[in-house]
Amino acid sequence: MKRLILPVLFLGTLYSTTCNGQEKDWRLYQPSEQKKDTLTTQRINVSENGGQEGVITYHVSQDIEALDSLRREHPTKNTGYRVQIYFGSREDAQEMRTKFIQEHPETGAYISYLAPNFRLRVGDFRSRIECESFKQKIAREFPGSYLVKDKIELPPLYSDAERDSN
C-alpha cells in the first residue's frame, strides 16, 4: 500500500497541472478573417499529347504568392559537394587558395571559418561522382583532401555539344 501512495500522488499532480495549464478556451476560437484568394487562370496547349487543348484553373492565396516572390528574390543555395583541401590558419588558407586558383582557375575556392581554424573548400559539384572525379584529379597536389557535403553555387548546365566544344 505504501508503494502506491507516491505514484498516485505524482499522477494526481500531473493530471491537475495539465488540466489547468490551458490559458484560452479553444472552443471559443474564431478564425481571423482570411484574405481573399486570387483566381489565376492559365491556358495550356497539350496538342502534342493527343491534339486537345485544355484550361487549367487554380486558386492561389496571396500569402503563397508573397512567399513565392520572396523565394525568387532571395534564392537559397542548393546542397552539393565540395573537396576540402585545407584546415588551419587564415594565412595558410589564403596562400593555399591562391595556389589552387592559379592551377585551377575555372574551379571556385571558398574559405570559411570554423573556430578556431579556417577551411578551404573547392568546387561546386552537383553529384558525389563528379566531386570524387575531381578529387582524384587533384590528389597529387593536395594529398589530404576529402569530400564534404556543402551548400554550393549551382554551376551552369551544358549540353553535350557545348561541353565538347569547351
Query: Does pLDDT of 144 surpass 70?
Result: yes
Q: How far is CA 12 from the centre of its chain?
A: 46
pTM check: above 0.85: no
Poorest-pLDDT segment among 25-39, 100-114, 121-135, 150-164: 25-39
Fold entry, domain 78-152? Alpha-Beta Plaits (3.30.70)
Cell numbers representing residue 37 in the block:
484568394
Q: 84 pLDDT exceeds 90? A: yes
Between CA 145 and CA 166 the distance in angstroms is: 27
Query: Quick one: the chain helix, strand, coil %, rounded to 5?
Result: 40, 30, 30
Give residue limits of the domains in the chain: 38-73, 78-152
The answer on pLDDT for 43 being more than 70 is no
User: What pLDDT does residue 122 have?
Assistant: 96
CA pair distance 39, 51, nearest whole angstrom: 27
Average pLDDT, the chain: 80
pLDDT class of 102 with cuts at 50, 70, 90 = very high
